[in-house]
Amino acid sequence: MPDPQRSRSAPPARRPRPRARPLRRTVATGLALAACLTAAAAAALPAQAAEATGGQARGLDRYYGQHLDWHGCVLGPDDPDGAALEQAGARCTEVTVPLDYANPGGRTVTLALSRIKATDTRHRIGALLLNDGGPGSPTLGAPPRVHAALKDTAGRFDIVGLDSRFTGRSAQIDCGWPVGFSIQSAGTGRAGFERQVTLQRDLAARCRSAVGDLLPYASTRDTARDLDVVRGALGERRISYLGLSYGTYLGTVYTQMFPGRVDRMVLDSAMDPRHVGPALLPRQLPGLEHAFADWAEWAAARHGTYGLGRTREEVTAGILRTVAAAANRPLVVGTGADAFELDDSRVPVLLFAGLQGDSAPERASLAEQVAMLAEAAKGRPVTPPADTTALLQLLFSPQGSPDGSAMQAIACADGTASPDPEHYWREIERGRAEHPLFGPLLDNINPCAFWGAPREAPTPVRRDARALILAATGDPRAPYRGGVALHDMLPGSRLLTLQGADQHGLYGIYGNPCVDDTVNAYLAGGRLPDTDPTCTRQ
Q: List the catalytic residues.
A: 245, 475, 504
In one-letter notation, the amino acid at residue 533 is P
N-to-C CA span, the chain: 48
In Å, how far are 38, 48, 57, 482 from 43, measured between CA atoms?
9, 10, 12, 33
Question: Is residue 502 left, alpha or beta, with left meaning phi > 0 and alpha meaning psi from -120 to 50?
Answer: beta
Q: Which residues contact 470 (CB under 8 A, 6 or more apart)?
A: 266, 267, 268, 269, 270, 483, 496, 498, 506, 507, 515, 519
Give the C-alpha separation, 255 to 465, whole Å.
7
Candidates 370, 364, 369, 384; CA nearest to 301 is 364
Q: Which residues contact 354 (CB under 8 A, 6 or more apart)?
A: 362, 365, 366, 369
Give the C-alpha separation, 2 to 24, whole Å.
8
Helix/strand/coil for 468: strand
Partners of 114 in the β-ladder:
92, 161
Q: Which residues contact 317 (CB under 8 A, 6 or more apart)?
A: 309
Give the C-alpha separation, 247 to 504, whole Å.
13
Give the C-alpha separation, 31 to 40, whole Å.
14
Phi/psi for 94 (5° steps) reads -130, 145
Q: Which helix (H) or strand (E) holds 20?
A: none
Helix/strand/coil for 509: coil
